[in-house]
Amino acid sequence: MKVTTEAAFFEEMQGNAVPHLLFLVGGDPFQTPHLQKRALLILEERIGSRPLFFDLKENGSGLLKNELSAPSLFGEAKLYVLKNVEALSVKEEKELVPLMEKSSQTFFCSAAKAKASSVLAKAAKEKGLFLEAKKLTAKEQKTEAERCIAAFFRKCSKSVDPSVVALLSDAYAGDFHGLESELEKLDLYTLGEEKVTKRHLNSLCELDHEESIFAFSDAILGRKKALCFTVAGQLLDQGIYFVTLIRSLRRAFQTDCQIASILKTSPNPEQEVTRLFPYMRGRILSGHISTAKKWGEARLSRAIAFCDEIEFKYKDSGQSEKDLLFELVGKIQMIR
């Protein structure tokens, strides 16, 4: 069955019988990981089994085919999670589908984008459950981030100051994993306390490094190569992880990109920017506006894409942080 809303997707998932095959496609880089996590928590509880993950982009379909071809000795229920299904060829999908149909287990598939030729997607639409998630606007990303923050602290039985919600949702709209990491750190940091305040946030979170991150992004976009590496080195020496540095840089570019869009579409752009980013003041605010005007939405989007590419390489290639930093700075400074 193909559904068109997230609410319908979760409603069907929690119906009388758990669908044999579920397929979640694309959508938004912030929302999709959250949807996947929520779906797996529901399935794990209903099936009574921890998920078994298969990254089809990294390992191909061989391991999964071997797993499904082997006889199950105890007949226990299993939840197979198939990531990056779009990496499979049509031939590989055609080989997998009969094995999956023969199995009595549950399969949760995810893909960054839908392929018209996908046999698995077709099977999910016909015999399982299929959702192509929508891409969120910047405003929707912020609203979703606010909802996640509120839900997280309700679960922790803590209240949270509205200024904390505003700061985190502004900083992490579009970065679900970054937001999740910050929330978990805040929960541990405020252990034994009933309310999370801006004081806790300022003491702990990466937002403390906002001015340095702005200086880093400004140096890259200003093509000041020596200054780029000086600022990056200082941040890493302060204990920021490399991935955190890249994600923080990405958020700075994303902020510039959002401002560029506002400058192009809003009748009162500076007022709108101040409303959406209340934590930005003085030099940082004027700097972001200046960068957005100079670089524009299209070129800033390319800079964001390069950040994503470098983060992926860091996780998968084993290249050194220094080499990847040189590559990232070089690619962004070549944007014309």
Write out pLDDT tens, residues 276-312: 776 666 777 788 888 888 889 899 999 999 998 998 8
Q: How far apart are CA 36 and CA 54, in angstroms?
A: 14
Among 252, 247, 270, 334, residue whose Cα is nearest residue 299? 334
**pLDDT, tens digit, 9 for 90 and up, residues 15-70:** 878 889 999 987 666 667 778 888 998 999 898 888 999 999 888 899 999 888 87
Across 331-336, average pLDDT: 87
Across 212-228, average pLDDT: 84
Q: How confident is the model at residue 227 (pLDDT cuts 50, 70, 90)?
A: confident
Written as six digits, the tokens of 74 are 């105890």
Task: Reduce the DSSP state of residue 259 to 3 states and report it.
Answer: helix
Written as six digits, the tokens of 122 are 């077709």
Q: pLDDT value at position 198?
A: 82
109 forms beta bridges with: 23, 82
Angle between helices 210-221 and 282-316 (to 10 degrees): 80
Q: pLDDT value at position 239?
A: 65
Q: pLDDT value at position 284?
A: 72
- Domains of the chain are 2-132 (3.40.50.300), 138-204 (1.10.8.60), 208-333 (1.20.272.10)
Quick check: 69 and 63 in contact, CB under 8 A?
no
pLDDT at 140 over 70: yes
Report the residue count for the chain: 336
Q: How many CB atoms lie within 10 A of CB 228?
A: 24
Residues 6+ apart with CB under 8 A from 67: 52, 54, 80
pLDDT at 208 over 60: no
Written as six digits, the tokens of 200 are 């806790």
Mean of per-residue pLDDT scores for the chain:
84
Q: How confident is the model at residue 209 (pLDDT cuts 50, 70, 90)?
A: low
Q: pLDDT value at position 305?
A: 92
Q: pLDDT value at position 109?
A: 92
Q: pLDDT value at position 161?
A: 92
Q: pLDDT value at position 122?
A: 92
Q: Is the pTM of this model over 0.75?
A: no
- Name the residue with higher pLDDT: 117 or 183: 183
Quick check: 168 and 202 in contact, CB under 8 A?
no
Q: How confident is the model at residue 100 (pLDDT cuts 50, 70, 90)?
A: very high
Q: pLDDT value at position 59?
A: 86
Residues 6+ apart with CB under 8 A from 224: none
Q: pLDDT value at position 276?
A: 75
